[in-house]
A and B are shown apart, each in its own frame.
Chain A
């Protein structure tokens, strides 16, 4: 279980998170929605320790993440970055098997390659791409490789940062289905941030809306349409008019 307790984070004069409280149960798929610049990415980067909150606590299975041993802590996580964040200088299979080629999870090279090819197959890519470089792949294929890398070490918690941004609607649907299948199959806890409502409905067990640095509403995805919160209602229906100010 992941618990965020009263998390505050500012960058200079800009208060991005102003007291975020959020609980994600083990095995649950939580999707955080919110407008651009609402602090969604900062929220998950705080959980991962890429950004340190100014105040508040983040607990993973009841233990403060700041006090955990860093390598062991990170080994429990996988992350799919918005732009893929694949390492340009490494071939695809070494990107996927990155964690398996070094550090505490290090395995023999041939075994790591086999795992990488197996994970690539799981995300719908053939072994032909294993020796290609990321720049040679299309955007959709790069997302799949990023997904394969995120699941390569069978993490307990997987983060998805805008998994369908920049993809055509069909490829976005394929990625959504893959994420859902993989999360269910692995029994992993998933935290996704997105403003793509199709993704939300395909991936989420629960939804939380982040607005003005706080969780505005959270609940099961089935309750989202009738939650009665005007902010959520405006956001999920994509209306320009409403309590959320849209800059024209």
Chain B
């Protein structure tokens, strides 16, 4: 009987554990938002995190966007040639980058860099009792550690993605003009004419949501790190994996919201 029910029990346990984890993360995220609205605030920490999360992620996001824009131009040119529609390259590259690839790839790259770094830093603070020390020094860890990081990520991700969008379009432009013999002025005109404000805004809103996800996952898993180096290692992995999955899932939901008829 046990052998028969064991697989169902395992599935049930796994489901319950997953639901409990989702619940804990949701409570943590709501708690973080509520602390954002109540003093004390730590502007110096916020500015410090702006630099760490935003400025230092710029090379990663910029390079990702540059190569993605270039590859996209080649792919669309090859695909478009089947329908004699090579001229759509500039507009499709721009729309693809701005609506989808810029925020998603930017978010995923920042998840790899920032969620891992936040989880490792806060996880190490947890195992070395620095979080307890903060509390005994009358400083709420949620306000001092989580809020500045989450706010900084929410603010910087759209800026990073906006810069990434421009670089991505530039990547497409370089490949289009240098490799595919597009006329430079015509390429730019096509790009600008077909791009709408809604395309850009939806991408930046997505980026902001992804920023919230990245920093919240880094902080949550860091704060809940197990003991020792292994605990910190697991927290780091969990932060990156959960942030990446949530970015892809929320991207679908946001796309439905923005572009469904």
The answer for the CA separation of A86 and B132 in the assembled complex, in Å, is 11
Given contact pairs A102-B40, A102-B42, A103-B40, A45 touches B138 in the complex (Cβ within 8 A): no
Q: Which chain B residues border A81 with CB–CB below 8 Å?
A: 129, 132-133
When distances are taken between beta carbons in the complex, the residues of chain B under 8 Å from A86 are 130, 133
Question: From A79, which residue of chain B is reached at the shortest CB distance?
Answer: B136
Report whether over half of chain A's contact residues are helix, strand or loop; otherwise say mixed.
Answer: mixed
- At the interface, yes or no: B137 with Cβ under 8 Å from chain A? yes
Q: Mark A61-100, 1 if CB is under 8 A from B, else 0.
A: 0000000001100110111011101111000000000110
For residue B53, give the distance in angstroms from its CB to the closest CB of chain A.
Answer: 15
Contact residues in B for A77 (Cβ distance below 8 Å): 136
Find the residue from B40, B125, B130 having the highest chain A CB count within 10 A: B130
Given contacts A102-B40, A102-B42, A103-B40, contact A87 B139 (CB under 8 A): no
Most chain A CB atoms below 10 A, which of B125, B128, B136, B137: B137
Complex interface residues of chain B between 99 and 141 (CB less than 8 A to chain A): 125, 128-130, 132-133, 135-139
Please, how many angstroms separate the alpha-carbon atoms of A43 and B56 in the complex? 43
B interface size (C-beta, 8 A)? 13
We find that the number of chain A residues with CB closer than 8 angstroms to chain B is 25
Partner of B132, one of A50, A75, A103: A50
The docked-state distance in angstroms from the alpha carbon of A79 to that of B138 is 12
Question: Which parts of B134-174 form the interface with A (CB within 8 Å)?
Answer: 135-139
Quick one: given A87-B130, A102-B40, are A75 and B135 in contact (CB under 8 Å)? no
Chain A residues within an 8 Å CB radius of B133: 79, 81, 85-87
A200 at the interface (CB under 8 A from B): no
Q: Which A residues from 132 to 176 make CB contacts under 8 A with B?
A: 149
B13–chain A nearest beta-carbon distance, Å: 15
Which residues of chain A have C-beta atoms less than 8 A from B40's C-beta?
Answer: 102-103
Which chain B residue has the least Cβ–Cβ distance from A159?
B136
Chain A 165-190, CB-CB to B under 8 Å as 1, else 0, gives 00000000000000000000000000
Complex Cα distance, B139 from A98, in Å, reads: 9
Q: Is the CB of B135 within 8 A of A74?
A: yes
Residues of A within 8 A of B138 (CB): 70-71, 74-75, 99, 103-105
Q: Which of B40, B42, B129 has the most CB of A within 10 A?
A: B129
Question: Within the complex, what minimum Cβ distance (angstroms) separates A84 from chain B?
Answer: 8
Complex formed: what's the CA distance from A102 to B91 in Å?
Answer: 52
Residue in chain B with minimal CB distance to A50:
B132
Question: Is the Cβ of B129 less than 8 Å from the Cβ of A85?
Answer: yes
Give the contacting residue for A98; candidates B125, B128, B137; CB below 8 A.
B137
19 A-B pairs within 8 Å (CB atoms) are namely A49-B135, A50-B135, A70-B138, A77-B136, A79-B133, A79-B136, A81-B132, A83-B129, A85-B129, A85-B133, A87-B133, A98-B139, A99-B137, A99-B138, A99-B139, A103-B40, A103-B138, A103-B139, A104-B138
Extra pairs beyond A48-B136, A87-B130 (5, CB < 8 Å): A74-B135, A99-B137, A99-B139, A102-B40, A104-B138
